[in-house]
Amino acid sequence: MKHEDEFELEAEDRVWTDAFREAIHAESERPAVFWSAQRAAIRGRITSRGRRSSAWMAFASAAALLLFAVMLLSVGTPIATRVPEKLQVAARVDPDQLLSEVQETIDNPIPDSLAPLDLLAQDMDKDFKANKRLAKQ
């Protein structure tokens, strides 16, 4: 026994443990052809599994590619036909209101931002005309 220091057996126990070991070893003895057939079977199973996994990988890649293409198609179409947001906002403005605003802008020669300056100019013009009238008199 190799490891007697680890587990002690009584001397008479070695008789039956040896007999047991010999029986197991004898039972598992097989001719060389059995072992080579086993190796061939193992090789065959490993190879066929490899082929199966390659086929599975190819199928998975193709499926992923197809899925990607479908996603591109489904997402791409609305982008091409989508109306820009600014145009959508413009489309929501009432055309009559827009027309009246345009008309008002045309009618009013002074922009709203210059209205105070216009008032000042009118006052100055009035003063100037009044002074001129007084001078004539």
* 41 contributes a contact to other proteins by CB under 8 A: yes
Integer Cα distance of 125 and 137 in angstroms:
19
* 60 contributes a contact to other proteins by CB under 8 A: no
Query: Toward other proteins, which CB reaches closer, 7 or 78?
Result: 7
Q: Which of 11, 31, 33, 43 binds other proteins (CB under 8 A)?
A: 43
* 52 contributes a contact to other proteins by CB under 8 A: no
* 51 contributes a contact to other proteins by CB under 8 A: no
Q: Where are the beta strands (DSSP E) in 32-115?
A: none
Residue 102 Cα to chain centre, angstroms: 47
Q: Which residues of 16-44 are buried (b: 16+ CB within 10 A; e: fewer)?
A: eeeeeeeeeeeeeeeeeeeeeeeeeeeee
* 46 contributes a contact to other proteins by CB under 8 A: yes
By the criterion CB under 8 A, which residues form the site for other proteins? 1-3, 6-7, 9-10, 13, 15-17, 19-30, 35, 38-39, 41-43, 45-47, 49
